Structures are given as C-alpha cells and as structure tokens.
C-alpha cells in the first residue's frame, strides 16, 4: 500500500488542454425534488486511469450513465470529445462505439457464446448482412481471438455465457468493451463482488489494456484502496457531490481541491470500510 | 373462514342460481336426459372398424393442416411480435400492431374458418387459413410478452455500444427470448391439432367434417371411430411434446448443468 502523504499541490493545475470528458455543474434528479447529483464538476484528461469512489447511493453509477448518454442531466453540461452525450443525439450516436461501458450487472447475453458476446463489440463495424448471418470477417475473428487470449479466456470461446464463473463473466465484459476499440472505458464496480486475488487480476488486466491502448478508463469503486492502487486520479463522491479529488504521483497523494477539506478523515473512513 | 368470506361465497352461489334460472339451466332436465346419452353410448360402442383407415387418413390430413397453420402463423407472428414489444419500439409503432393482434384474437378459429370458407370456398385450405390467423394472434402475443420480460441489462449495455436495432434483435432479443419460443410453438401445434379437428363443422376440412356428418345422420358408431382417433392423436402429441420439452427446454434454462452423455 502506498504511503499516504497529503500535500496541497498546485503543479497539477497546469493540466494539458487535452480534455476528453468535461462536466460542469451537472445536476440530475429522478423526480423533481431529490437530486442524485448536485453540481458535479469533472474534467478528465485523455489517457487517464480515473477512479470514482463513493458509497452505494452516492450517485457514482449515475455519473457513468451520463457519460455514455444513457441519462441526460437535468441541469449543467457534459462534453465527451466536445459532443454532448445523449442516445438520441445523432452526432453522439456515431461515437457511441468508441465508449466501452461495463455496467455493474455486466449486461452479457446469457444464451449466446463467449465469442458471440465479444463480437457484439464489433457490431458497429459490421454490415447488417454480416451481423445477421453471423458471418464475421476474418480480421475481426483474429482480433477477437487476440483479445480473448489477452483476457485469459482462450479455450472457452464456445461456452455459453451463463455457464461462466463471476470472474470469467467480467473478463467477457471487458473483452466485449475492448473489441469496440474504444477511446473511453467506463466500468461500474466491476470487481466489487470478487475475492481479493481475482479482483486484482481483473484490475491488472484493465490497467494493462488501458496503458497499451492509451484508453481513458473511468472506473467506479467503493474500495478506496483499490482505487488508489490503480488510478492516476480519484474523485470521491458523497451524497451527489464531489467532496475530494486526489491524484497519485509515485508514492504521494496530491489533493486537487483548492479548499482544505477534511481529507484525512475521509481517507480513514474508506480505510475502515475496506477492512470490513 | 371469516364472515366476510362467507358472504362472498353466498353471493356467488346466489348469482349462479339466478343466472341458471335465466338461461334455463335445469339440473332435473339433465338427470332426465341421461338415458338419451346411454342410447348414444350404446350405438357408439358398435364401432365399425372398417372405417379406421379413413379415419387415420382424415387425421393425417388434419395434422398436416395444423402443421402448416402453426409454421406459417409463427413465421408471420415473430416479426410482428418485434414491432409489438414495448421495450423495442415507440408508442406509434407498438400501439397499432397490438391493436391489430388483439383484433385477430377476438375471433375464435371457427369464425375465421367461416370467413375463409366464404372467401376461398369449402375445403381444407379455408381451415389452414383459419389456423394461420389464430396462430398469428396468439404466438405474437405470447412472444411480445416474452420479449418484454427479458432482462433489460444486456439490452441497455448492448444499445450503449451503438448497434442497430436489427443487430440488437439478432444478438440480444432473440437469444434471450428463444427459450420460451419452442415451448410456445409446441403448445400452439398441440392446440391447433385439436382446433383443426372441429373446423370440419363449418366445412373447412379435416376430420371434423366426417364427425359432424356421421352425427347428423345418426351414425354414432362411425362417428365414434373418428372421435377415438382424435383422442388417441391428441394424447400422442401431448406425450411427444412433453418429451421434446424435457429434452430441449429444461436443459437450456439458465444455470442448469447440462449433463454430458
């Protein structure tokens, strides 16, 4: 575990302008009274391994759904590569295939094979006839095979998804997202139900792919330690507000928020959480 | 049993008595009529075995009619069910399709048969068309309900990749709803064989044509042969579809281990 040293740091404010995701003053509500998110500001650099940490109900899953256009904010603006995410926006529809999204439920199709599940990631590149007849072009099959071996599922291509273990299902979901050749990878609590060893295997897998493909990975966790271990930056969400944004530089943890928040207290809170 | 329940049961019994009086349903007449039934049964017992080949041929014809009706009806129903599912379409698409399907289901198959007899004349073709219509109405309804019941997680996850609607149907909707489909088709075929057996009453072909005519001429012995063939066939189809269901459907249920043989 990294030594936790809190330092107020301003060097990180000289951030490059290469922002892939920008959210400013984003509010969302399920009804008109209760807000899931209350004025979130986020800006994420291209190629970052970004983590969002918070307890259940804090609004962190909502953040991901806003980024892939499944939800729209009731107030505020979001830009993904300068496009407003919304499933009904034509411009955004064209870039949806570049955003890999792994929901907490994984969203695998249970009755089809591992290979077919992964091929779903390539569907936006295939013609209607090819995809309806399941006639996949050779280079796409090779790409799928490469990703299958990357995620460690070789030999299980023809298994039906419902026959897989929890860890294997997560590997399929990651492979499906990678098959999209994404720029952004969104993952919602992908390791929270796994044992420590498997969780680390899966996280290493994603970190490896993130570096290799220069992805912007945005992962939601409830375990602060895991987030700090793998992410370059961690945002802490509580009751729909971002209360802390920290960065990891070598062994140091740097606070990005200008105000002097009760950082240590929060760190302790999450340290306690993960021991349980 | 609470007093409230007693009152409700009392009201229901009272309603049955009042309604029976209104429609002249008299148990005494039923008892008095029993000897008449005995006469029919007695005549039926004098089964005439030389009609068995004819009966078997008529049954075979009936099964073929039901088979065509089920296959063609299902083939038309499946695309319609995709348009009728609320989780795949906007209101402007599913509402009219559902209304159409509801209208098709309003008529029992025997009324469809009468309509088609008027349209294409007496015979088996009218019967086939009637079964097609009936199958469309029901399979489409069962199937759009199966589609609406599929897990929304894979639908959402795959939609967010930016796939087309056809791709979504091919890779998520059909695989996730297909386990119900085979069971529904088997049930529909089973049911259609029984229905086709009576379509002959209105001249739309099948074994019912023989049954109604022999009964009209009081030849209960001959009618009995045909009725026994229907009974045996329905029992056989029932048994076969249970076997098929056990073999293919139970296995494909989620989470069940498939045993290697």
Q: Provide the pLDDT for residue B249.
A: 65
The predicted-structure confidence for B2-53, as pLDDT tens digits, reads as follows 788 899 999 999 999 999 999 988 888 889 988 888 887 887 787 778 888 9
Distance (Å) from the alpha carbon of B89 to chain A's nearest alpha carbon:
14
| A18, A81 contact by CB (below 8 A) | no
Give me the residue spans of the domains in chain A: 6-11+19-275
Bridge partner list, A44? A21
- Choose the mutation target among B151, B153, B155, B160 for the interface with A, i.e. most A CBs under 10 Å: B160
C-alpha to C-alpha distance for B130 and B112, rounded to whole angstroms: 5
A245 CA: distance to closest CA in chain B (Å): 28
| Residues of chain A positioned with their CB less than 8 A from the CB of B255 | 162
The Cα B125–Cα B117 span in angstroms is 8
Q: Which of B151, B161, B254 sits opposite A120 (nearest CB)?
A: B161
Instruction: Tell me if A87 sits within 8 A of B157, measured CB to CB.
Output: no
- For A125-249, where are the alpha helices, taking DSSP H only? 128-132, 138-150, 166-179, 196-212, 224-230
Q: Of all helices (H) and strands (E), which one includes residue A7? A: strand A6-8
Beta strands across the sheet bearing A99-102: A6-8, A252-255, A241-249, A233-238, A49-53, A216-221, A184-188, A99-102
Interacting residues of B244 by C-beta distance below 8 A, sequence separation 6+ = B182, B186
Looking at the partner chain, which of B153, B161, B178 has a beta carbon nearest the beta carbon of A96?
B161
Out of A103, A106, A111, closest to residue B178 by CB: A111
Q: What is the pLDDT of residue A5?
A: 44
Compute the distance between CA of residue B186 and CA of residue B143 in angstroms, rounded to an integer. Answer: 13
What is the three-class DSSP state of A188? strand
Q: What is the mean pLDDT of chain B?
A: 88
Sequence-ordered list of residues with C-beta below 8 angstroms from that of A166, at least 6 positions apart, any chain? A193, A194, A198
DSSP letter (8 states) at residue A108: -
Answer CATH for B46-249 from 3.90.1530.10, 1.10.3720.10, 1.25.40.340, 3.40.50.150: 1.10.3720.10
Domain boundaries along the sequence of chain B: 46-249
B2 forms beta bridges with none
What pLDDT sits at residue A249? 67
The partner residue sitting opposite B163, judged by closest CB among A94, A105, A124, is A124
pLDDT for residue A9: 42
> How many CB atoms lie under 10 A from the CB of residue B177?
22
For residue B216, what are its two tokens?
Answer: 């009209």
In this prediction, residues B53-65 reach a mean pLDDT of: 92
Across chain A, which has 276 residues, the per-10-residue mean pLDDT values are: 43 57 87 81 89 85 89 89 86 89 92 94 92 91 92 90 91 94 92 87 89 90 85 87 77 59 55 46
Task: Give exposure, B221-237, as e/b (b: 16+ Cβ within 10 Å).
Answer: bbbbbbbebbeebbeeb
Contact at CB, A120 and B156, closer than 8 angstroms: no
Give residue A265's pLDDT. Answer: 53
Q: What is the 3-state secondary structure (H, E, C) of chain B?
A: CCHHHHHHHHHHHHHHHHHHHHCCCCHHHHHHHHHHHHHHHHHHHCCCHHHHHHHHHHHHHHHHHHHHHHHHHHHHHHHHHHHHCCCCCCHHHHHHHHHHHHHHHHCCHHHHHHHHHHHHCCCHHHHHHHHHHHHHHHHHHHHHHHHHCCCHHHHHHHHCCCCCHHHHHHHHHHHHHHHHHHHHHHHHHHHHHHHHHHHHHHCCCCCHHHHHHHHHCCCHHHHHHHHHHHHHHHHHHHHHHHHHHHHHHCCCCCCCCCCCC
Q: Do B153 and A99 touch (CB under 8 A)?
A: no
Residues A247 and A227: beta-carbon distance below 8 Å: no
Nearest C-alpha of chain A: how many angstroms from B247?
A: 17
Alpha-carbon distance B156 to nearest alpha carbon in chain A (angstroms): 7
Q: Is residue A43 a contact partner of residue A22, using CB atoms and an 8 Å limit?
A: yes
Which of A55, A54, A85 is closest to A184 using CA atoms? A85
Question: Would you call A109 an interface residue with chain B, using a CB distance cutoff of 8 Å?
Answer: yes
Residue of chain B minimizing CA distance to A92? B162
Q: Do B162 and A93 touch (CB under 8 A)?
A: yes
CB B165 within 8 A of CB B171: no
Which range scores top for mean pLDDT: A52-56, B163-167, B200-204?
A: B163-167
Q: Does A103 touch chain B (CB under 8 A)?
A: yes
Write out pLDDT tens, residues B205-252.
889 889 888 888 888 888 888 989 999 998 999 899 888 888 776 655
Residue A111 sits at the chain B interface (C-beta within 8 Å): yes
Residues B168-183 have pLDDT tens digits of 999 999 998 887 788 8
Report CB contact under 8 Å: B156, A107.
yes
B153·A94 Cβ contact <8 A: no
B161 chain-A contacts, CB cut-off 8 A: 96-97, 100-101, 120-121, 123-124, 180
Q: Which CATH architecture has domain A6-11+19-275?
A: 3-Layer(aba) Sandwich (3.40)
pLDDT per position as a tens digit, B136-149: 999 999 999 999 99
Q: Say whether B254 and A162 touch across the interface (CB within 8 A).
A: yes
- ipTM, 2 decimals? 0.82
How many CA atoms lie within 13 Å of B50's alpha carbon, on the beta-carbon side? 0
> How far is A30 from B54, CA to CA, in rounded Å?
68
Chain B residue with CA closest to A187: the answer is B157
pTM score: 0.77
* A99 Cβ under 8 Å from any chain B Cβ: yes
Give A105 to chain B, closest Cα distance, Å.
7
């Amino acid at each position: 575990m990294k030594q936790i040293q809190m330092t107020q740091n301003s060097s990180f404010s000289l951030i490059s302008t290469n922002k892939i995701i920008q959210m400013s003053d984003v509010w969302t509500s399920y009804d008109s009274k209760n807000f899931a998110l209350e004025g979130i500001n986020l800006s994420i650099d291209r190629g970052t391994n970004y983590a969002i940490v918070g307890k259940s109900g804090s609004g962190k899953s909502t953040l991901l759904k806003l980024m892939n256009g499944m939800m729209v904010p009731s107030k505020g603006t979001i830009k993904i590569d300068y496009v407003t995410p919304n499933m009904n926006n034509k411009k955004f529809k064209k870039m949806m295939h570049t955003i890999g999204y792994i929901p907490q439920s994984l969203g695998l199709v249970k009755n089809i094979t591992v290979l077919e599940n992964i091929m779903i990631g390539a569907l936006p590149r295939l013609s209607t006839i090819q995809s309806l007849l399941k006639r996949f072009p050779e280079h796409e099959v090779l790409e799928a095979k490469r990703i299958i071996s990357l995620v460690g599922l070789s030999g299980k291509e023809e298994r039906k998804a419902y026959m897989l273990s929890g860890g294997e299902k997560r590997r399929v979901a990651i492979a499906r997202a990678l098959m999209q050749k994404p720029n952004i990878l969104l993952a919602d609590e992908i390791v929270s139900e796994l044992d420590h060893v498997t969780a680390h295997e899966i996280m290493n897998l994603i970190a490896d792919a993130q570096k290799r493909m220069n992805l912007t990975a945005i992962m939601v966790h409830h375990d602060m330690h895991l987030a700090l271990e793998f992410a370059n930056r961690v945002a802490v969400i509580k009751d729909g507000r971002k209360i802390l944004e920290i960065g990891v530089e070598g062994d140091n943890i740097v606070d990005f928020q200008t105000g002097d928040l009760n950082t240590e207290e929060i760190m302790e809170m999450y340290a306690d959480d993960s021991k349980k | 049993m609470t007093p409230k329940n007693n009152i409700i049961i009392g009201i229901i019994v009272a309603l049955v008595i009042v309604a029976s009086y209104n429609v002249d349903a008299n148990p005494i007449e039923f008892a008095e009529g029993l000897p008449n039934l005995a006469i029919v049964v007695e005549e039926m017992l004098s089964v005439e075995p030389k009609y068995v080949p004819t009966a078997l041929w008529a049954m075979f014809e009936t099964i073929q009619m039901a088979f065509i009706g089920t296959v063609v009806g299902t083939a038309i129903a499946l695309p319609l069910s995709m348009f009728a599912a609320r989780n795949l379409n906007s209101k402007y698409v599913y509402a009219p399709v559902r209304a159409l399907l509801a209208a098709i289901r309003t008529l029992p198959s025997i009324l469809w048969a009468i309509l088609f007899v008027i349209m294409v004349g007496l015979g088996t073709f009218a019967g086939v068309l009637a079964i097609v219509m009936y199958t469309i109405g029901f399979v489409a309804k069962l199937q759009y309900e199966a589609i609406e019941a599929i897990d929304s997680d894979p639908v959402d996850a795959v939609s967010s990749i930016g796939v087309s609607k056809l791709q979504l149907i091919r890779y998520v909707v059909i695989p996730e709803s297909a386990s119900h489909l085979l069971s529904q088709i088997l049930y529909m075929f089973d049911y259609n064989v029984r229905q086709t057996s009576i379509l002959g009453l209105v001249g739309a072909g099948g074994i019912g044509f023989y049954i109604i005519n022999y009964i009209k001429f009081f030849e209960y012995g001959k009618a009995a042969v045909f009725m026994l063939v229907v009974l045996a066939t329905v029992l056989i189809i029932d048994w076969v579809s249970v076997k098929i269901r056990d073999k293919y459907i139970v296995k494909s249920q989620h989470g069940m281990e498939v045993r290697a043989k």
